[in-house]
């Protein structure tokens, strides 16, 4: 009888209590640019990752900051609600809230920051601030239910490539990110988008160039690339070279872009990838690190992914690339960075304000 009673107590009291302790849920918010996203994570396992894209910018060929912050205001509550529902939990089960504090568009960041601060205060849970670029790198640690993804070991090299960043980072630890190379002007994603705009393609141009490049000849045209010392990058010269090349060709044939779209895309994509890979190979040689990753929106580029695997074979690298859904802006990556901070008690205070730019990784 006593044994039966004990079993009942263990099963109905201790086990659920233990499970509650193990199930620490984090809500994450990302609103740095034009995507409003909320995610729920249990540890590094992503239970939901909802993204509301803002179509409003497409007609302008770029993100309009004022319109972006207004759209975040409209989207944030429904997106959080959907993230909780998809994760099958209630807001009372959350242990903490993580948010993107910067860098990004200030008006956009303010929406996510203000929401997160109010939410933490009202639910009496800790607040965790996350640097957006660190979030992109932490996406490499994302796991999904009933699936194990191999993650890199420290130290590893990560090429963080997005619309706002192009950096080679030596990742020594979750919180020790050493920038060893960076762009001195445009980011690689920015170069893709600006070049697409020159060709009359809609925003964002990166994924469109990627798609069109598949049907083109990458060696059809060549453009002059900048030769920058060390591990740094420059993309503004390439963009100007492309602009002048097109201007001259259009004088001879006004349909030049239309007739050569696929070849132009394939050629410019090859130039961007060659530039990115040259310095990444150099960084690997100089540091002796052979675990090499890419992260950020441009890491979704099929040509860049192929170049990573090709170089991996050539130089004996172990290559890590985040899944597509975790590579462009999303809240799951913020939740993963948030979880590592949560485990280490690295909480933020209510007086935190967003920042548009960072010179150091936080
Ligand atoms: O990380 P992300 O979503 O936002 C920023 O933090 O900037 O990156 C967006 C950038 C844009 O410039 C977009 O054109 C580029 O990533 N991008 C791509 C591809 N998918 C997104 N660039 C090249 N090929 C792609 N498949
Ligand atoms: Zn991003």
Q: How large is the average pLDDT for residues 99-122?
A: 97
| Ligand 1 and 284: CB distance under 6 A | no
Residue 348 has pLDDT above 60, yes or no: yes
Mean pLDDT over the full length of the chain: 93
In a domain, 305, yes or no: yes
- Which residue, 175, 194, 167, 144, is CA-closest to 296? 167
Least confident of 22-36, 202-216, 267-281: 22-36
In a domain, 12, yes or no: no
Residue 15 has pLDDT above 70, yes or no: no
In a domain, 4, yes or no: no
In a domain, 26, yes or no: yes
Nearest CA, atom 14, ligand 1: 206
- 172 and 191 together in one domain: yes
- In this predicted model, what pLDDT tens digit does every residue of 211-239 receive, in sequence order? 999 999 999 999 988 889 999 999 999 99
- 306 and 338 together in one domain: no
Give the pLDDT confidence score for residue 2 in this predicted structure. 63
- Please give the residue that has the higher pLDDT: either 357 or 47: 47
- Which ligand has its closest atom nearest to the C-alpha of 296? 1
Residue 67 has pLDDT above 70, yes or no: yes
Per DSSP bridges, beta strands 35-42 and 291-295 are: unpaired
| Ligand 1 and 207: CB distance under 6 A | yes
Give the pLDDT confidence score for residue 190 in this predicted structure. 95
| Ligand 1 and 33: CB distance under 6 A | yes
Backbone angles phi, psi at 163, to 5 degrees: -75, -20
In a domain, 348, yes or no: no
- 232 and 191 together in one domain: yes
- 297 and 276 together in one domain: yes
Please give the tally of structural domains in the chain: 2
| Ligand 1 and 299: CB distance under 6 A | no
| Ligand 1 and 162: CB distance under 6 A | yes
- Which residue, 99, 81, 100, is CA-closest to 89? 81
Is there a cis peptide before residue 103, judged by omega within 30 degrees of 0?
yes
CATH number at residue 274: 3.30.420.40
Give the pLDDT confidence score for residue 56 in this predicted structure. 72
- 168 and 226 together in one domain: yes
Residue 7 has pLDDT above 50, yes or no: yes
Give the pLDDT confidence score for residue 27 in this predicted structure. 98
| Ligand 1 and 322: CB distance under 6 A | no
Q: Which of 51, 162, 214, 299 to mutate to test the pocket of ligand 1 (most atoms within 8 A of CB)?
A: 162
Residue 210 has pLDDT above 70, yes or no: yes
Q: How large is the average pLDDT for residues 281-286?
A: 98
Per DSSP bridges, beta strands 35-42 and 25-30 are: antiparallel
In a domain, 208, yes or no: yes
- 104 and 217 together in one domain: no
- Which residue, 329, 281, 306, is CA-closest to 162? 329
Give the pLDDT confidence score for residue 85 in this predicted structure. 98
Q: How large is the average pLDDT for residues 45-54?
A: 93
Q: Which domain holds residue 111?
A: 22-147+328-343
Give the pLDDT confidence score for residue 361 in this predicted structure. 43
- Please give the residue that has the higher pLDDT: either 338 or 226: 338
- 180 and 314 together in one domain: yes
- In this predicted model, what pLDDT tens digit does every residue of 236-261 receive, in sequence order? 999 999 999 999 999 999 999 999 99
In a domain, 161, yes or no: yes
Dist CA 241 CA 191 (whole Å): 12
- Which ligand has its closest atom nearest to the C-alpha of 161? 1
- Which residue, 135, 180, 132, is CA-closest to 156? 180
- 92 and 239 together in one domain: no
Q: Which of 191, 199, 202, 206 to mutate to test the pocket of ligand 1 (most atoms within 8 A of CB)?
A: 206
- E strands, the chain, in order: 25-30, 35-42, 45-53, 94-102, 127-131, 143-144, 156-161, 166-173, 176-182, 291-295, 318-320
- 43 and 102 together in one domain: yes
- 266 and 316 together in one domain: yes
- For 193-262, the three-class secondary structure string (H helix, E strand, C coil) is HHHHHHCCCCCCHHHHHHHHHCCCCCCCCCCCCCCCCCCCECCHHHHHHHHHHHHHHHHHCCCHHHHHHH
Residue 311 has pLDDT above 70, yes or no: yes
Which numbered atom of ligand 1 lies nearest the CA of 300?
Answer: 26
- 312 and 335 together in one domain: no
Are 312 and 292 a contacting pair, CB within 8 Å?
A: yes
Tokens of 104: 């990004």
- Which residue, 136, 182, 173, is CA-closest to 155? 173
- Percent of residues, the chain, with pLDDT higher than 90: 84
| Ligand 1 and 102: CB distance under 6 A | no
Q: Which residues contact 115 (CB under 8 A, 6 or more apart)?
A: 29, 76, 80, 99
Is there a cis peptide before residue 104, judged by omega within 30 degrees of 0?
no
Q: How large is the average pLDDT for residues 173-186?
A: 96
- 306 and 270 together in one domain: yes
Give the pLDDT confidence score for residue 5 in this predicted structure. 63
Which numbered atom of ligand 1 lies nearest the CA of 328?
Answer: 3
In a domain, 3, yes or no: no
Q: Which residues crowd ion ligand 2, with CB under 5 Å?
A: 162, 329
């Amino acid at each position: 009888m006593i044994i039966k009673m004990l079993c009942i107590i263990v099963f109905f009291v201790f086990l659920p209590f233990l499970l509650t302790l193990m199930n620490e849920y984090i809500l994450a918010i990302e609103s740095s640019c034009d995507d409003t996203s909320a995610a729920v994570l249990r540890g590094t396992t992503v239970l939901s990752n909802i993204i509301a894209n803002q179509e409003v910018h497409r007609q302008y060929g770029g993100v309009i900051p004022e319109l972006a912050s207004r759209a975040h205001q409209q989207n944030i509550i429904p997106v959080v609600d959907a993230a909780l529902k998809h994760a099958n939990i209630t807001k009372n089960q959350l242990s903490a809230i993580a948010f993107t504090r910067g860098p990004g568009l200030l008006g956009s960041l303010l929406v996510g920051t203000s929401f997160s601060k109010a939410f933490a205060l009202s639910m009496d849970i800790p607040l965790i601030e996350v640097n957006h670029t660190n979030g992109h790198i932490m996406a490499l640690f994302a796991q999904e239910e009933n699936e194990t993804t191999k993650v890199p070991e420290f130290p590893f090299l990560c090429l963080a490539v997005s619309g706002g960043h192009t950096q080679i980072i030596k990742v020594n630890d979750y919180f020790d990110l050493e920038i060893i190379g960076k762009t001195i002007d445009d980011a690689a994603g920015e170069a893709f988008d600006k070049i697409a705009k020159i060709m009359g393609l809609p925003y964002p141009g990166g994924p469109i160039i990627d798609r069109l490049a598949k049907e083109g000849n990458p060696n059809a045209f060549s453009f002059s690339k900048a030769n920058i010392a060390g591990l740094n990058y420059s993309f503004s010269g390439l963009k100007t070279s492309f602009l002048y090349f097109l201007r001259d060709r259009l004088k001879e044939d006004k349909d030049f872009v239309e007739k050569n779209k696929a070849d132009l895309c394939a050629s410019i994509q090859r130039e961007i990838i060659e530039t990115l890979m040259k310095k990444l190979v150099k960084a690997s040689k100089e540091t002796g690190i052979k675990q090499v990753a890419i992260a950020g929106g441009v890491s979704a580029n099929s040509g860049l992914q192929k170049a990573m695997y090709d170089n991996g074979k050539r130089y004996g690298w172990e290559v890590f690339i985040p899944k597509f859904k975790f590579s462009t802006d999303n809240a799951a990556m913020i939740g993963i960075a948030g979880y590592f901070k949560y485990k280490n008690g690295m909480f933020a205070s209510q007086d935190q304000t967003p920042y548009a730019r960072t010179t150091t990784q936080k």
